[in-house]
Amino acid sequence: MKIHEYQAKELLRAAGVPVLAGKVARTPDEAAAAFTALGTPICAVKAQIHAGGRGKGMVKGSTQRGVELAKSADDAARIAKGLLDQTLVTIQTGPEGQVVHQVFVESGCAIERELYCAILVDRHAGSPVLIASTAGGMDIEEVAHKTPELIITEPFDPDRGLSAWQTRVLSARLGLPAASWRAAEQFFKALTKAFVNLDASLLEINPLVLTKDGTMVALDAKMTFDDNALFRHKDVAALRDESEEEPAETRAAAAGLSYVKLNGTIGCLVNGAGLAMSTMDLVKYHGGEPANFLDVGGGADVKQVTEAFRIILSDKNVKAILVNIFGGIMRCTTIATALIEASKTVGFTVPLVVRLEGTEVEEGKKILANSGTTIITADGLTDAAKKVVAASKGLKA
């Protein structure tokens, strides 16, 4: 789960990580009032969307950038007006962009140097790692690719956290003045603690700023949380902003389905994540374009399968649907019955190709054949893919 910058900063402030004072605004007037209340000569007005790359991003149909500096309350209102309810396009939103519903007005600071820092769980190390670089404000992927020697990595134990000596290694390699090492130690320790205590999966500070007076400040904050751990963070779960998410994906999650919308024409309904991904690959291999990833899980019932079909059909690009089930624990008879039930209640407007394999497959196929529905059955993966691709193009396989 992702949250907004202003929400991440509230969590970080509570965890003892230095951030600047700021206020959220949902109207230009609120932005002006925020500027006045903050009382600094300069403020940043920042669009709050879940995608990154806002600084370089541009509002559709104007020259308004996603982050701009304001020198007066009027200025802040003007920038907010240019952003609110407008569509911001950044490198991460794709060309369709994302609508801005709120801006964050944040006081300025005197920047000495911009650094980069992030925490994530490293699969190879089997532990969380803190990554830092002197290349602050830049695209870290590019830095990692072109100048990997500029990236410093320190793994740490979730319970012990980062050791003091590790923060000194970071400070020294980041070239921080010795007078700021103590500030850096406190910053990094608080940040790693926040990461572990909040069950984050990514915590990225870009840029991390060394100020003119030698302190460390998180100028930006991007936080993603481990969905599997949200059960023990009700306060974090409450920060979810559904308006930032694909509605069909939110709906699927509520039904216990794993769904990702794509841009193709062939809807896919599969059991198991690996097989679901492979089914998309199979469709593509045979000249089609998958419209979605959808994993109904190991024990889907009629209700879930019905909801899955509704979600797939809510995508108007879908021209045909492929159901690919390898019955292990889930019996083919169960899924066949669910398919027929669902097809009756949902009312199919597009061809449906079904491939069943595994437990009770023969009985399952019989149920489909005797159902009187227009379901197209397939034998094997290749046959199924060919049939669904042909059907999506209005042809017979």
Tell me the per-residue interface mask from 245 to 274 with other proteins, x by CB under 8 A, - otherwise: -------------x-x-x-------xxxxx
CA–CA separation, 83 and 63 (whole Å): 11
| Residue 95 found at the interface with other proteins (CB under 8 A) | no
CB of 200 to other proteins, least distance (A): 9
Angle between helices 302-313 and 332-346 (to 10 degrees): 50
| Residue 396 found at the interface with other proteins (CB under 8 A) | no
Cβ atoms of 198 and 182 closer than 8 Å? no
| Residue 277 found at the interface with other proteins (CB under 8 A) | yes
CB of 374 to other proteins, least distance (A): 25
Residues near other proteins (CB under 8 A), total = 58
> Which residue in the list 154, 185, 204, 360 is annotated as catalytic?
204
Sheet of 98-99, strand order:
58-59, 87-89, 98-99
Pick the binder of other proteins from 36, 40, 62, 92 (CB under 8 A). Answer: 92
Q: Which is nearer to other proteins, 102 or 201 (CB)?
A: 201
Query: E strands along the chain, which residues?
Result: 22-25, 43-47, 58-59, 67-70, 87-89, 98-99, 103-107, 111-122, 127-133, 151-155, 200-211, 216-218, 222-225, 258-261, 266-270, 292-295, 320-327, 352-358, 376-378
Sheet of 292-295, strand order:
258-261, 292-295, 266-270, 320-327, 352-358, 376-378
CB of 73 to other proteins, least distance (A): 37
Please give the residues from 147 up to 206 whose contact with other proteins meets the rule CB under 8 A.
157-159, 196, 199, 201
CB of 11 to other proteins, least distance (A): 16
Q: Which is nearer to other proteins, 19 or 266 (CB)?
A: 266
Active-site residue, 204 included: yes
Burial 178-196 (b: 16+ CB within 10 A, else e): eebbebbbbbbbbbbbbbb
Q: Which residue is associated with the tokens 């012990």?
A: 160
| Residue 298 found at the interface with other proteins (CB under 8 A) | yes
> Which residue in the list 5, 68, 116, 249 is annotated as catalytic?
116
| Residue 228 found at the interface with other proteins (CB under 8 A) | yes
Cα distance from N-terminal residue to C-terminal residue, the chain: 41
Active-site residue, 259 included: no
33-41, 116-124, 171-179, 210-218 -> range binding other proteins (CB under 8 A):
116-124
| Residue 96 found at the interface with other proteins (CB under 8 A) | no
| Residue 363 found at the interface with other proteins (CB under 8 A) | no
10-18, 306-314, 376-384, 389-397 -> range binding other proteins (CB under 8 A):
376-384
CB of 145 to other proteins, least distance (A): 8
Q: Give just the sign of the alpha carbon dihedral 222, 228, 231, 232.
A: negative
| Residue 89 found at the interface with other proteins (CB under 8 A) | no
Q: Which is nearer to other proteins, 208 or 282 (CB)?
A: 282
| Residue 285 found at the interface with other proteins (CB under 8 A) | yes
Q: Which is nearer to other proteins, 53 or 214 (CB)?
A: 53
CB of 295 to other proteins, least distance (A): 4
| Cis-peptide into 158, omega within 30 deg | no
Q: Which residue is associated with the tokens 């974090």?
A: 236
CB of 154 to other proteins, least distance (A): 14
CA–CA separation, 226 and 293 (whole Å): 20
Sheet of 67-70, strand order:
22-25, 103-107, 43-47, 67-70
- What would the two tokens of residue 230 be? 């949200």
CA–CA separation, 83 and 62 (whole Å): 10
CB of 215 to other proteins, least distance (A): 29
Pick the binder of other proteins from 227, 242, 362, 363 (CB under 8 A). Answer: 227
Q: Which residue is associated with the tokens 């992030």?
A: 118
Amino acid identity, residue 43?
C
> Where along the sequence are the contacts to other proteins (CB under 8 A)?
92, 121, 123-124, 126-128, 140-141, 144-145, 157-159, 196, 199, 201, 226-229, 231-232, 258, 260, 262, 270-286, 290, 293, 295, 298, 326-329, 357-359, 380-382, 385
Q: Known catalytic residues?
A: 116, 204
